[in-house]
Chain A
Amino acid sequence: MVSDAIIADNLWKSFIETRGFFKRKKSIVEALRGVSFRVHRGEVYGLLGPNGAGKTTTIKILSTLLLPDKGKALILGHDVVEEAEKVRRVIGVSLSVERGFFWKLTGYENLRYFGLLHGLHGDVLEERINYLFKILGLEELGARDKFYEDFSLGMKARLSIARALLHDPPVLILDEPTLGLDPASSRHIRELLVKLSREEDKTVLITSHNMFEVEMICDRVGIINKGRIIAEGTVQELKKIVIGSVPVVFVFHLKRDKSFVESFFSEILGSIGFVVELSEDYYRVRVLVRRGEEDVIVHRVLEKLRSVGGRVKEVRIEEPSLEDVFIKLTSGSGGG
C-alpha cells in the first residue's frame, strides 16, 4: 500500500541552450538540482518558489512530459519514465492556463475533443461536461457556446482545470492554476481544489508564487529555489522558522528603478533579508528584522530613503507569513 500519491526523489534536469547562427554558443541551465518531496494521498500540496525556480520543470517531469536527467518519480506507485502510460491514466494536468485549446472551437467543442480522446463518449461524456461546466462556473459565464478566442483569462483557466478533471483522475497536477486571474476566479478555483481534496480524496499538487494562496489552501508546502527544495512542511511548521523575527513593510515612492532599490536596501541592511515589489508607482519592501531591532532598522531606513528623495507613504509591522519564511531562507544569513 502506497500512502504517498506523489514521490519525487532527487530529480535533476538541465537544459542546453544554443545561441548564435555561425558561432554556436552553448550554455547550460541547471533547472533542477536534486528535487525531492512527497505528497500524501488526498492532500493539497503547494510548490512555492520565485520565477525560474524550477516549478514548471518539476510539474512537467511528474506529468511525463519531460524526462529527468537523474532521479526517480512515482505517481501512485507508477514510475513516470518507465510506466508513463499508467501514470497518464491517473493524473489530470493543467500547464499554462492561458493556452492549450483550439481557438476556433467553443468551450463545449474543446472539452468534447479531449473527452473523446480519453475514450469518453455518448451520454457519459455529455453528463461529465455538463457537470464540469457547472462546478467550474463556466455555464454562468457563457463559456459553452463562446469561441475559446473570446474567453477571458479566468474562463481559460477554468476550462483548463475542467479538462484536467474530465476523466476523473485521482491525482491533479496543476501549474500556477490561478496565475493572473481576478479575485473571483482565483477564489472559485481555490475553493474547488480544497473541496476536491476533502470530499473526493483527490491529491492536488499546485505550483504558485502567491504565498497568500498557498497559505490558504495547502496542507503542506515545499519551498523551491534555484532547483532545490529548501524547506518543507505545513504552513504552521514553516512559520516556526521565523519565530523571533518581525516583518516590517515600507511603502514609498521613489523615481529610481528596481535594481537600484534592491542594491540600496542590501547596502543598508547587510545580511538582513528583504523583498522588493513594485506596484502602481509605489515600492513595497518587506524586511525581516530580528525582534527588538525594529526601531533601529526603521529609523535607519527612513533616514537613508529621505536622503535619496524617497516619499514614504507607510511603515507598518505585520504578522509573520510564508513570505517571511521565504525571505529568511533565501537571504544571505538564512538559506543553508
Chain B
Amino acid sequence: MSFLKQEYSMFLWVVRAELHAYFSWLRNNRLFAFMMLVWPYLFAFFMIGLGVLLGSLSVYAERMGVSNPLFYIIVASGVLVSSLNIMDTIVWSLVDYKWLGILPYIIVSPPGFRRVSVYGLTIPSIISGFISLTSILPAVLFLEGWLGCFKLFIILLIVYIGMLPLIGLGVFLASITLMLKEESFVSFLSPFMLLVSGVYYPLSVLPWFLRIIARIFPVTYVVEAVKLVSVLGYPDISRLLQIVGLLFILMIVYNLLFFPAVKRAEYFVKKKGVAV
C-alpha cells in the first residue's frame, strides 16, 4: 500500500513538473503554439488539393470507403498530426534532455529516469494530441454539426487508446537513440509514420513488407477506426470494438518491450557515461 502511495506521489511530482515546463514553454513560444492549431488544416488542404487534382472528391470518397470525404480528410489530418505530435514529443524530449544537459539532473531527481520518461512524457503528448484534435472542432461543427462533435469526441478517445502503445513505442525508440549515441535518425520517424498509416490512401497500394509494418503500427488502427466513425449515421460497432481490442494488445506488447528497454537504457547511460 505504501508502495502505491509513494508511486502515486512521484507520479504527481512528475506530472506537475512536466505540465509546468510544457505550458511555460508554449507561453514562451507562441508561434509554435499557433502552428500547432493550424497544422491539421494545412495537412487537410494539401490533401484536398492533391485529391481534386487527381480526380473529384467523390471518387476519392469511393476509393477510401468513406461517406463524407471532407469531414474524413480533416479529421484524419487531425488524427495524424496529433499522432505525429505524440511520437515527436516523446522521442525528442529525451533527446532534448540529453542535448540540454538536463538528463543527469533527471536521473538524480527522486522520480528518476524511468518515471520521468514514462509519466513525464505522457503528459505533453496527451496535451499536444488534445490541442491538435480540438483545433479542428470548428471545421467539424461546420461540416457535421453536433453529431460531428460527438464523433470527434469518440475519435479523441480512440486516439488516446491508440496512444497507449505509441507511448511504449516512443519511449522504446528514445531509449535506443540514447544507446546509439546518435539521435538524428529520429527525424525519419514522422515521414515513415505518414507512409504506413494509410491515412490518405488505402493500405493496399503499399508493397507487402510495408503492409506488414503497417499492421503492427498503432496509428493504422486509429485511422481505420476514424474511417468507421466518419460514415454517415451509426458506425459498425463490432469492428470498432475489435480495433480497440487490437490496440490494447499492441499496448501490452509494446509496453512489455519498452520497460526492459528503458531499464537497459538507464544502465547503459550509467555504465558508459554517455549523456551525463
Contacts and interface: CB of A to CB of B under 8 A. Distances in A.
Nearest to A98: B101
A100 B110 contact: no
A328 interface: no
A99 interface: yes
A89 interface: yes
A238 B111 CA distance: 42
20 contacts: A66-B271, A88-B109, A93-B108, A95-B101, A95-B276, A96-B101, A99-B100, A99-B101, A100-B100, A100-B101, A102-B25, A104-B25, A104-B29, A105-B21, A112-B20, A116-B16, A117-B109, A117-B111, A118-B110, A163-B105
Given A64-B107, A64-B108, 7 more contacts: A15-B273, A63-B104, A63-B108, A66-B270, A67-B271, A93-B105, A116-B16
Band of interface residues on B: 20 to 34
Interface of B: 9-10, 13-14, 16-17, 20-21, 24-25, 28-29, 100-102, 104-112, 116, 267, 270-273, 276
Contact of A114 (B10, B109, B112, B270): B109
Given A65-B104, A88-B109, A93-B105, A104 B28 contact: yes
A85 B109 CA distance: 9
Nearest to B106: A117
A104 B21 CA distance: 10
A60 interface: yes
Contacts of B108: 63-65, 88, 91, 93
Contacts of A282: none
Interface of A: 15, 57, 60, 63-67, 85, 88-89, 91, 93, 95-96, 99-106, 109, 112-114, 116-119, 121, 147, 163
A116 B20 contact: yes
Which 4 A-B pairs have CB atoms at the shortest separation, nearest pair first? A116-B17, A99-B101, A100-B101, A117-B17
Most buried by B among A15, A116, A118, A163: A116
Contacts of A63: 104, 108
Nearest to A69: B271
Contact of B102 (A89, A91, A102): A102
Given A64-B107, A67-B271, A100 B276 contact: no
A109 B270 contact: no
B122 to A, nearest CB: 15
A264 B17 CA distance: 57
A65 B20 contact: no
Given A116-B20, A117-B17, A119-B9, A89 B110 contact: yes
A20 B263 CA distance: 29
Nearest to A104: B28
Contacts of A116: 13, 16-17, 20
Given A100-B100, A102-B21, A105-B21, A117 B270 contact: no
Given A63-B108, A65-B270, A118 B13 contact: yes
Contact of A105 (B28, B101, B104): B28
A238 B16 CA distance: 49
B102 A100 contact: yes
Nearest to A18: B181
